[in-house]
Amino acid sequence: MAKLNLNREEMPRQEPKVRAKNFNEVALGYSPEQALAEASRCIQCPKRPCTGGCPVSVDIPEFVKALRENNMPEAVRALKRKNALPGICGRVCPQETQCESVCTLEKKGAPVAVGRLERYVADWERVNPEAAERPTIQPPSGRKVAVVGSGPASLTAAADLAKAGHSVTMFEALHVAGGVLVYGIPEFRLPKEIVRNEVNYVTSLGVELKLDAVIGRIDTVDELLANSFDAVFLGTGAGLPMFLGVPGENLGGIYSANEFLTRTNLMKAYQFPKYGTPIRVGKNVAVIGAGNVAMDSARCALRLGAEKVYIVYRRSKAEMPARHEEVENAEEEGIIFKFLTNPIKFTGDERGNVKTMECVEMELGEPDASGRRRPVTKAGSNFVMDVDTVVVALGTTPNPLIASTTEGLKTTSHGTVVADEATGQTAKPRVWAGGDAVTGAATVISAMGAGKRAAASIDAYLKTLP
């Protein structure tokens, strides 16, 4: 038997200098040879910890085995049994903290590149659609479910409920389905064609999609329940941006990351004036925060023509919540990191646009409730940076629209919907919730897991109905 290769196949990527000037996908995907070589590293261990590490329990050894045997239709089947959106998950899941972190090979060397293989299988299916087998759809149950929102939690719940034979209507407030997958995550990490394709797959299962439909403004949740829907799933996400709350924050040129990314990704402002939505990016851009959204914003700013882009973070490198891979991509592209730095004030020019950002230096004190060391201001450390664009990427909380228009729905002080973790059931009868609407801003795959659990619970409930 050949000796096990402890190193994973590298994924080809666009050169940093080239990609920093375009919105094309950075990671180019495996060639068939690379995919086969990587799949061959899986030892098919009987314990299969990887499946346990996946929030939607994908049958990882099975799809990897089929791939290794070059049985691509079977690989697709095995993958899609549990995951309706593999082209997305293979690209944006933090595998290093999920399936790959528990891979048996992890203890000896590099874990199997599960995410890259998942992506390879999904991409193969996209160009070989005829090879894919239609999933079994149960006979019509006569039951109707309203799914509010069309992000990862909703898409997953809608797909599972449709497969179970229920009539599903998905309501989306924006003019494109996909939630954060279309307005938040940039094209260079997740091409919109992939999202469109996965949304089409979900509607091909019989899910009716209603765009431009703001639930709470057209029908409320109570009206949906009164107007023939047997159950409602709330997958409305956490879309309300947080700001710093410091002087000068409303000057021109200061964006929330949601606005900056929505203009760029959803409205395609990087193609202005061909596309009608403008965006303003100056020479010196400061992005406040260090999560994935901050990395996405910084890298978009660079591609929109900024000369210097700073990530400004009040903690140190070790506490950054962004994925390691994305931080590395950002560093390679020339993003400048300013750690232990906190903005306290913005000043503007004569037109009311931002001109400077006053910051203080921080040092790390005792761990706080979240276990991270609390940053403390260093007295007298104030300094001023020249900036002409600022993107505030401090996180988001749920939009209060649904909670404020729905009788009897329980929410926390953070505005998240209270729902049972195992079933997604809320305090309100016939209403389920999942994803960021419940947890606050988290990951795509954890939202999908929640969508899946809620769909199972909704299905079980609908079966009890006479």
Partner 1 sequence: MYKILQRQDLVPNVHLFKIEAPAVARKCQAGQFIIVRVDEAGERIPLTIADWDKEEGSVTMVFMEVGATTRDLARLGAGDSVADFVGPLGLPTHADKFGTVVCVAGGVGVAVITPVARAMKQKGNKVISILGARNKDLIFWENELRAASDKLIVTTDDGTYGRKALVTEPLKELLQGEEKIDRVIAIGPTNMMKFSALTSKPFGVKTIVSLNPIMVDGTGMCGCCRVSVGGQTKFACVDGPDFDGHQVDWDLLLNRQRVYLDEEKRSVEHWQKAHAH
Q: Which residues bind partner 1 (CB under 8 A)?
A: 173-175, 211-214, 217-219, 239-241, 243, 249-253, 255-256, 258-259, 262-263, 267-268, 272-280, 348, 351-353, 399-401
User: Does residue 126 contact residue 119 with C-beta atoms inside 8 Å?
Assistant: no
Kindly state the smallest distance separating residue 251's Cβ from partner 1, in Å: 8
Angle at 358 between CA 356 and CA 362, to 5 degrees: 145
User: Does residue 361 contact residue 341 with C-beta atoms inside 8 Å?
Assistant: yes
Considering beta carbons, is residue 47 or 175 the nearer one to partner 1? 175
Kindly state the smallest distance separating residue 94's Cβ from partner 1, in Å: 23
Kindly state the smallest distance separating residue 174's Cβ from partner 1, in Å: 7
Our CA dihedral for 266, 272, 273, 275, rounded to 10 degrees, sits at: -20
Query: In terms of DSSP bridges, do strands 284-288 and 231-234 run parallel, antiparallel, or are they unpaired?
Result: unpaired
Kindly state the smallest distance separating residue 239's Cβ from partner 1, in Å: 4
Considering beta carbons, is residue 283 or 463 the nearer one to partner 1? 283
* Alpha carbon distance 430, 145 (integer Å): 10
The DSSP H or E segment spanning 287 is strand 284-288
- Tell me if residue 328 falls in helix, strand or coil: helix
Considering beta carbons, is residue 94 or 241 the nearer one to partner 1? 241
Kindly state the smallest distance separating residue 264's Cβ from partner 1, in Å: 11
* Alpha carbon distance 397, 385 (integer Å): 29
Considering beta carbons, is residue 341 or 396 the nearer one to partner 1? 396
Considering beta carbons, is residue 72 or 215 the nearer one to partner 1? 215
Angle at 72 between CA 114 and CA 31, to 5 degrees: 60
Query: In terms of DSSP bridges, do strands 240-241 and 396-397 run parallel, antiparallel, or are they unpaired?
Result: antiparallel
Read out DSSP for 85-136?
Answer: -HHHHHHHS-GGGTGGGG-GGGGTSPPP-HHHHHHHHHHHHHH-GGGSPPPP
Kindly state the smallest distance separating residue 369's Cβ from partner 1, in Å: 26
Kindly state the smallest distance separating residue 235's Cβ from partner 1, in Å: 15
Considering beta carbons, is residue 34 or 264 the nearer one to partner 1? 264
Considering beta carbons, is residue 122 or 285 the nearer one to partner 1? 285
User: Does residue 287 contact residue 309 with C-beta atoms inside 8 Å?
Assistant: yes
